[in-house]
Amino acid sequence: MQLQQFVTEVIEGLGGVVVPVEYALCQVLVPEEYKGYFQDKTELELAFDFEVAQENTQSEFVTFGSFILEQVLTIANQKAVSTLRFVEVERQILANPMKKMKELWLEESGKIEILDERSVMGVWAVFQFHITFISEEKEETSEQVWINLITGEPSESMKQKQNSIIYMSNPLYNYPIPAELNMEEAFVTAYNHVNNASEGKQKQRKQDQQLQKDIDRIGNYYKELLMESDKKAKRTGLSKEKIEEITTKSRAINVEMEKQIEEIKKKYHGHTEITIVNGILYFVPILQYSIEVLFRSKRTKQTLYYNPITKQFD
């Protein structure tokens, strides 16, 4: 979820008003009972882009670590604003479901027979994570993960379609939920999804060309010092004490080189901290199909769920 959308939803969930003025710039009316969170202000102008904030000096720049965002996160955690969302859909009838099912299996569909069709309630858990990558500098970002609680799998398609979802705060349909909901398992799946992506980015940093350039630069510098020290040690007529002195300096150069390389690696590698900011449950009416597939003399029964938001089968 984009930062502007998140802040807007929290403010509006409190009963406030957010009016977009232009790109990344909004005027905000905060309800009287929440003004204490914002230094007793009920009127705010918020910028969600650095250049926009510079152009509008009267606005407050909202980014990770900023005062406004910290207060919005505090409210979201304390008040649990809009944690349940009941989605309204235009149509709950799928025309020609057999055709769409065959498209799902393509050429290996075999013979499909629909045994049963009914409306059920699909449930998606949305987890908002705050990710901090700490090295010599701190880099902060946000990641949202949608988990289909019926199938237990991440849903990138729902995440992409979220801006088109119309929802209410009260239930709209009385449909059964076709599976037991395991929130703990969903959270672990979402966390692992974010963690794996973060580790991938960290691995990319380790392989960064600039890192290797810095290591090579440090290595070449100290290798030149070692070569110079070696030349000094090979001079004729040196005393035993002088040779030992040069050898000790060479060892010190090696130690310093390893220390510098280790420090530059730490600068690039760093470590990642992942924290949960909030969670939302979306209840979406979907169509459940019980089908039997005959393929190569083998019959299998399967359950498909048609999502009217993504217009796809799960």
Measured at the alpha carbon of residue 284, what is the angle toward residues 281 and 285, in degrees to the nearest 5? 150
The pLDDT of residue 147 is 95
pLDDT of residue 2: 65
Residue whose pair of structure tokens reads 């949202």 in the numeric block: 144
Whether the Cβ atoms of residue 117 and residue 287 lie closer than 8 Å to each other: yes
Backbone angles phi, psi at 149, to 5 degrees: -75, -15
Quickly list DSSP for 85-135. Answer: EEEE-S----SSHHHHHHHHHGGG--EEEEEEEEEEEEEEEEEEEEEEEES
Residue 289 near residue 102 (C-beta atoms within 8 A): no
Token pair, residue 297, equals: 């003399």
- CA-CA distance, 276 to 13, in Å (whole number)? 20
Chain centroid offset of residue 202 CA:
14
What kind and span of H or E run contains 183? helix 183-206
Residues in the chain, pLDDT under 70: 1-2, 77-82, 105-110, 134-138, 202-210, 266-271
